[in-house]
Amino acid sequence: NEKGYVKYTLNVQQGMYEYFTGVKVPSLGYNGNILGPTLKAKKGDIVEIKVKNFLKEETTVHWHGMVVPGEMDGGPHQVVSPNGSEWTARFKVEQQAATLWYHPHGIGTTASQVYGGLGGLFIVEDENRLNLPNEYGVDDIPLVIQDKRFSQKGDLLYLTNMNDIMYGMLGNKVLVNGVIEPKKTIPRGKVRFRILNASNARSYNLKFNNKLPFVIIASDGGLLEKPIKVNDVLLSPGERVEIVADFSEFDEGSEILFGDRGYNFLTLKVGKKGKRYEIPTRLIDIDKISEKDVVRVREFVLSGLGHMVTINGKQFQMNRIDENTKIGTTEIWRVSVRMGMHGMMGGGRNSIIHNFHAHGVLFQVLKRNGRKPTGHEQGWKDTIALRNGDTVDLIMNFRKKGVFMYHCHILEHEDNGMMGQFLVS
């Protein structure tokens, strides 16, 4: 590859995959039977990605978190027809290092295609040379977390009951990088994990089994100003965090479990001593978007479940632009969840019931329920988790023109119309 120019081809294809040894089930993947390659580009690069659709149905490929013009965004308007048709995305990477991802975004087919196996990481790098673990697959480890439901025999099940339709598809097994409850050897030292919640509907409260503390170093849009020490981190569908945990105090051969509440779905086996890293106490400076520049506050009210999901009382329509804005302007988007009589359902006040993602922009969280954001919500975000009754104020500045989506990232909700469109002109 010539410097500053990165080319990829993604073949969207059907295959067979063994989630359980000896049980082959139909699956979807990019350039393979399941998931897809980790794409990489540097800030400043021109990226060209040729997408070839070998499925028997339409698809699109959306670069979640990449701030690109509307025509290159890979949303529902950039349809790639079935049976070998192509679409080429070409854009310049103009944002800081971050862990992004790509996935299908067709009308009514996003949930089933992601569940079938389509999705991959897109890592942006930049000139910043901090002393962070960066040996991919060794001490810089991607964790694509997804839940899926299997029958006793090991067949993959999808949408088998009313709950799946109401709350989105929840599985009975959690997979990491396409593997059910895998085991991975890690160096005895500091290890960075790039974690993506690529589940259709499940949120996770991620932690290590022995209360091992860790630091969060990055949110959806890249590094935080400083590492934040925590014992767990909440991640709703579509969100990413990068964390660093220190395993140097463990004996070689010991096993640390990672998971959500009572269910540990990843086993980490401590191996030989790793490289030395000193995590700086200051990572980067984040320029705060100024509230003085805000020209408008827009409200988005999320409500309903199942086929009744709405944003501001409306369901998605391909030929309707819901919001119009101008390039270069700064706005606050006030997003809230008001479930009304549905508030009693779905685990009550403390569970994530919807979330909110916007294309074509990264935002900063000004306030969550009137308070300053905590944890990874202090960094650049593109997706934010919401409980019933929550209100978040998101401040953003529009830098790319075109038509973009905003939606709940619970994919069954998105497919049921919990999505709108905004035009930046």
Candidates 17, 49, 51, 62; binder of ligand C2O (CB under 6 A) is 62
Q: Which two tokens stand for residue 200?
A: 């259709």
Reduced 3-state DSSP string for 156-168 = EECCCCHHHHHHC
In the complex, which residue's CB is closest to ligand C2O?
64
**Number of Cβ within a 10 Å radius of residue 419:** 26
Selected range binding ligand C2O among 25-33, 161-169, 306-314, 403-411, rule: CB under 6 A: 403-411
Asked whether position 413 contacts ligand C2O by CB under 6 A, the answer is: no
For position 359 contacting Cu ion by CB under 5 A, the verdict is: yes
55 Cβ partners below 8 Å, 6+ apart? 12, 13, 14, 28, 82
Minimum Å distance from CB 354 to Cu ion? 3
Neighbours of 210 (CB within 10 A): 10
Rounded to whole angstroms, how far apart are CA atoms 287 and 308? Answer: 39
Binding partner at 240 among ligand C2O, Cu ion, none, C-beta below 5 to 8 Å by kind: none
Question: Which is nearer to ligand C2O, 216 or 408 (by Cβ)?
Answer: 408
Q: In the bound complex, what is the minimum distance in angstroms from residue 154's beta carbon to Cu ion?
A: 29
Is the separation of the CB atoms in 286 and 230 below 8 Å? Answer: no
User: What is the maximum span of the chain, computed from C-alpha positions, in angstroms?
Assistant: 61
CB of 158 vs Cu ion, minimal distance in Å: 18
Closest CA to 106 of 143, 55, 69: 55
Asked whether position 64 contacts ligand C2O by CB under 6 A, the answer is yes
Span near ligand C2O by CB under 6 A; candidates 147-155, 174-182, 384-392, 405-413 = 405-413
Helices (H), 122-234: 162-167
Q: How far is the CB of 346 from Cu ion (least distance, A)?
A: 10
- Which of positions 105-144 make contact with ligand C2O (CB under 6 A)? 105
Residue among 359, 387, 400, 413 that touches ligand C2O (CB under 6 A)? 359
- The sign one gets for the Cα dihedral 325, 326, 327, 328 is negative
Nearest to 190 by CA among 135, 248, 141: 248
Binding letters toward Cu ion, positions 396-425, x by CB under 5 A = ------------x-x--x------------
Position among 405, 408, 410, 418 found at the interface with ligand C2O (CB under 6 A): 405
Nearest approach, Cβ of 31 to ligand C2O (angstroms)?
20
Under the criterion CB under 5 A, does residue 103 sit at the interface with Cu ion?
Answer: no
Helix (H) or strand (E) holding 299: strand 294-303
**Could you give the string, one character per residue 238-277, with x where binding to ligand C2O holds by CB under 6 A and - elsewhere?**
x---------------------------------------
In 3D space, the residue among 128, 63, 147, 125 whose CA is nearest the CA of residue 280 turns out to be 128
Please state, in angstroms and rounded to a whole number, the distance separating the CA atoms of residues 112 and 353: 20
Instruction: Give the per-residue SS3 of 72-122.
Output: HCCCCCCCECCCCEEEEEEEECCCCCEEEEEECCCCCCHHHHHHHCCCEEE
When binding is defined by CB under 6 A, the residue of 103, 148, 387, 413 that contacts ligand C2O is: 103
Stretch that binds ligand C2O, among 22-30, 136-144, 297-305, 402-410 (CB under 6 A): 402-410
- Residue 64 near Cu ion by CB under 5 A: yes
Q: Do 268 and 184 meet the contact criterion of CB atoms below 8 Å apart?
A: yes
Residue 357 sits in the site that holds ligand C2O (CB under 6 A):
yes
289 binds, among Cu ion, ligand C2O, none (CB under 5 to 8 A by kind): none
Nearest distance from residue 359's CB to Cu ion, in Å? 5
Q: Using the rule CB under 6 A, is 354 a contact of ligand C2O? A: no
Q: 163-177 in b/e burial notation, b at 16+ Cβ within 10 A?
A: bbbbbbbebebbbbb
Could you list the residues that contact ligand C2O (CB under 6 A)? 62, 64, 103, 105, 238, 357, 359, 405, 407, 409
